[in-house]
């Protein structure tokens, strides 16, 4: 399956692009955060377009389509236990200072192995986007 997915991803013709990281957000919400993320201001259309292309490839291979609305973001933390709650007000204030451009120049297929000390990530496939 990985070799077929890698082969199909290799066919993607997509140019590098910039996105603007801005602000802090929380999934599902700030009262019960399970994920803390940096938002995407500019470039979200490109990220969404790339996500649609990849989802088209994976759905043809039998993976189910995502039912939730796609929200471009950069995950910075996952919260396993809800107590004590993170200092949302401090994080939100800090997020106001985030205003950086990031070049998106690769697609990576990652494997995560969950361990008692945290996940271990491994690249299974890397594709450089065109310049």
* Sequence ranges of the domains in the chain: 2-128
- Rounded Cα distance between 94 and 53, Å, is 34
Reading the chain (131 residues) residue by residue, the pLDDT tens digits are 889 999 999 999 999 999 999 999 999 998 888 899 999 999 999 999 999 999 999 999 999 999 999 999 999 988 887 667 678 888 888 888 899 999 999 999 999 999 998 889 999 999 999 98
Task: Tell me the two tokens of residue 45.
Answer: 């259309």
Do residues 19 and 72 touch, judged by C-beta distance below 8 A?
A: yes
CB atoms under 10 Å from CB of 25, counted, come to 19
pTM for this predicted structure = 0.84
Q: What is the dihedral of CA 88, 89, 93, 98, to 10 degrees?
A: 10
Do residues 85 and 33 touch, judged by C-beta distance below 8 A?
A: yes
Contacts of 77 (CB under 8 A, 6+ apart): 35, 36, 86
Q: Decide yes or no: CATH 3.60.10.10 for domain 2-128.
A: no
Strands (E), the chain: 17-27, 35-40, 73-78, 99-104, 106-113, 120-128
């Amino acid at each position: 399956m990985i070799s077929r997915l890698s082969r199909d991803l290799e066919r993607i013709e997509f140019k590098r692009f910039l996105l603007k990281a801005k602000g802090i957000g929380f999934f599902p919400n700030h009262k019960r955060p399970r994920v803390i993320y940096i938002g995407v201001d500019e470039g979200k259309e490109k990220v969404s377009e790339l996500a649609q292309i990849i989802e088209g490839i994976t759905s043809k291979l039998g993976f189910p389509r995502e039912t939730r609305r796609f929200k471009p973001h950069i995950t910075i933390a996952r919260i396993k236990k809800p107590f004590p709650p993170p200092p949302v007000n401090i994080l939100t204030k800090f997020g106001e200072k985030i205003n950086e451009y990031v070049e998106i120049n690769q697609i990576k297929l990652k494997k995560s192995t969950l361990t008692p000390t945290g996940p271990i990530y491994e690249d299974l496939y890397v594709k450089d986007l065109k310049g």
